Amino acid sequence: MNKTISLVAALMMVSGSVAAQSFDDAFNAQRAMYGKGHSFTFEGQTYTTDHPEEVAAAVEANADNATKLLAAAKDQHAQVVALDFDWTLTKTLLKASAKALAAGDFRKSMDISAQAQYHARMGMAQYHQSQKEWVMAVPE
């Protein structure tokens, strides 16, 4: 599977730039090939393969930053819960982040909060996708 992803991503590379139909396609191909922290060019602009949550968690690990990141993750989780598209794992991650914060392990708390926020964002994306494609679920 990884060889297939790498091959597809490699075929999308054209002289240091990415040839893809959309930014999401380019980002996903680059992320699959290189992981986080890689730079790539799309339509003349340079981007990294970091998710927004990883960027937010990359700040100094201290109590204030960990508390803010956990609060942001809880807020985003509440939004996806309101849409009824929350993922089971997200609540577990939020609890683990709060536990790490209480124990003074700020880096661990921030990393887990970033994961929870990512899962909440993906739940929201899943909701919006289902709203576009709901008609496909209706039997004829």
Segments in the chain below pLDDT 50: 1, 3-18, 20
Give me the pLDDT at residue 82, please: 94
Give me the pLDDT at residue 137, please: 66
57-80 burial, b for 16+ CB within 10 Å, e for fewer?
Answer: beeebeeebbbebbebbbebbebb
Tell me 44's DSSP state. Answer: T
Give me the pLDDT at residue 27, please: 87
Give me the pLDDT at residue 8, please: 45
CA distances, 135 to each of 122, 124, 129, 132 (Å): 21, 19, 11, 8
Asked if 120 and 76 count as a contact pair (C-beta separation under 8 A), the reply is yes
DSSP, collapsed to helix, strand or coil, labels residue 61 as coil
| Residue 25 burial (C-beta neighbours within 10 Å; 0-12, 13-18, 19+) | middle
Residue ranges covered by each domain of the chain: 2-50, 54-135
Give me the pLDDT at residue 16, please: 47
**Distance (Å, rounded) from C-alpha 107 to C-alpha 117?**
15
The vertex-93 CA angle with 87 and 94, nearest 5°, equals 100
The CA-to-CA distance between both ends of the chain, in Å, stands at 35
| Residue 120 burial (C-beta neighbours within 10 Å; 0-12, 13-18, 19+) | buried
pTM of the prediction? 0.71
Give me the pLDDT at residue 120, please: 94
